[in-house]
Amino acid sequence: MNAAAKLGAYVLGLAVVFGGALGAGQVVGPTAAPAQQVEDHAAMAPQGEHEQTKSDTPRGLQVSENGYTLNPLTTVKPGEPTDFRFTVTGPDGRPVTDYQVEHDKKLHFIVVSRDLGSFQHLHPVQDGDGVWSVKLTLADPGAYRAFADFAPAGGSGLTLGADLLVAGDYAPKPLPRVARTATVDGYAVSLAGDLVPGQASKLTLSVSKDGRPVTDLQPYLGAYGHLVALRAGDLAYLHVHPEESVKAGPEITFYAEVPSGGEYRLFLDFQHDGKVRTADFTARAAGAGAAQPGADGHGH
């Protein structure tokens, strides 16, 4: 593409972003830029301009975004520990080897079953060629979603998602009902606060054990808790930011912004007595959203 054409694509890109800010209707019509030109713009824009072209698409729904692609290299068999390998390739088609460190790690790898009944938060290791590997066991056959949450060196954060299909007889479980308490390994975790679409919503999770508040939580990945939220229906992935705290419990506070009404699964990782545990909840955000069988609190 010559310089003039580049400039043209750049201007069109800005126009679409501006139009998008006024509402989608503004860019529909004969003057709308063809999607390909917008993509060209995103691919060649220098770092920093990416922010302007970022879409509102929730994270984790795409296997490829901004030129970065998640490539699973291993097929998983049910119940067998597997050395699971994958790469993230960059705009040049080569595996990315340089990453920024976020929450103590260069890449966070989340694997859930598509029915949101199982959750694993793993930290793969990378060899020199940009191939990541991690020991992964998927107990049951079925459809799983793997998320790679990372920021390439010099770039902004991305969460790419890919399906992992495990052969065998598959019986999906209904979404657990909406609840404000969860128990794991003798710990009780309660959830206060409500998800509100389009707003940073304060969620406070409180951890207790044997009826007593836990006040000596241990930092895990630089914080007292990590929360992953996934939308039921499509597994949109939410990046949830913890509030900085010097208190080691019992409360852990997060701000979560959900893109729509409907049901979400929340997975809280916390560390106590040297062990990381995960408490999970189904929460409903007010407003219209996809109906999920089993999540209405009226039984399965």
Footprint of Cu ion (CB under 5 A): 108
Tell the smallest beta-carbon distance from residue 276 to Cu ion (Å).
10
Other C-beta atoms lying within 10 Å of the C-beta of residue 61: 17
Closer of 108 and 145 to Cu ion (Cβ): 108
- The identity of residue 212, as a single letter, is R
Closer of 108 and 284 to Cu ion (Cβ): 108
What are the E-state strand segments in 54-199?
A: 64-65, 68-72, 82-89, 107-113, 119-122, 125-126, 131-136, 142-150, 158-166, 181-184, 187-192
Q: Is the peptide bond before 58 cis (omega within 30 degrees of 0)?
A: no
Closer of 208 and 278 to Cu ion (Cβ): 278
CA dist., res. 53 & res. 16, Å (int) = 9
Closer of 203 and 227 to Cu ion (Cβ): 227
The C-alpha torsion from 54 through 56 and 60 to 63, rounded to 10°, is -60
Tell the smallest beta-carbon distance from residue 132 to Cu ion (Å).
13
Tell the smallest beta-carbon distance from residue 11 to Cu ion (Å).
40
Tell the smallest beta-carbon distance from residue 43 to Cu ion (Å).
28
Tell the smallest beta-carbon distance from residue 267 to Cu ion (Å).
11
Tell the smallest beta-carbon distance from residue 125 to Cu ion (Å).
13
CA dist., res. 4 & res. 7, Å (int) = 5
For residues 255 and 200, is the Cβ–Cβ distance under 8 A? yes
Closer of 40 and 149 to Cu ion (Cβ): 149
CA dist., res. 298 & res. 300, Å (int) = 7
Closer of 269 and 296 to Cu ion (Cβ): 269
CA dist., res. 61 & res. 164, Å (int) = 14
User: Closest CB to Cu ion belongs to which residue?
Assistant: 108
